[in-house]
């Protein structure tokens, strides 16, 4: 009998949940490091698709687009991701100051 924990669909779902949690944790670090209002809407166009409700959701979208998989996300430090977000924001909005 096959255990449910070894079934590909179950494992894939676990990986998706782990990646989503990691993304949320990185987003919280970005919000803090760059002093971004999580409930603001300033980053929706620059980082999101335009359908997000706030900056937090926009950063989740940006990270998802920038980091395709957990292995890639794990390869970078928070400092590196902060620098990448700064560069992205500078390209999109011109400049970014804390």
Q: pLDDT for 58-71, tens place per residue? A: 999 999 888 765 56
The reported pLDDT for the residue numbered 1 is: 47
**Domain positions in the chain:** 26-93
pLDDT band at 45 (very low <50, low <70, confident <90, very high): very high
Structure tokens at 20: 């989503």
Tell me the CA distances in angstroms from 37 to 33, 42, 82, 83, 87, one per residue in order: 11, 9, 15, 18, 19
DSSP class of residue 43 equals T
Cβ–Cβ under 8 Å, residues 44 and 52: yes
The arithmetic mean of pLDDT across residues 68-96, rounded, is: 80
* Confidence (pTM): 0.77
């Amino acid at each position: 009998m096959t255990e449910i924990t070894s079934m590909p669909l179950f494992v894939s779902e676990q990986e998706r949940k782990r990646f989503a949690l990691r993304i949320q944790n990185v987003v919280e670090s970005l919000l803090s490091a760059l002093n971004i209002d999580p409930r603001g809407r300033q980053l929706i166009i620059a980082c999101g698709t335009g359908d997000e409700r706030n900056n937090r959701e926009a950063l989740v979208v940006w990270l998802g687009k920038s980091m395709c998989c957990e292995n890639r996300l794990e390869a970078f430090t928070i400092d590196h991701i902060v620098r990448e977000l700064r560069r992205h924001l500078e390209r999109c909005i011109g400049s970014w100051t804390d």
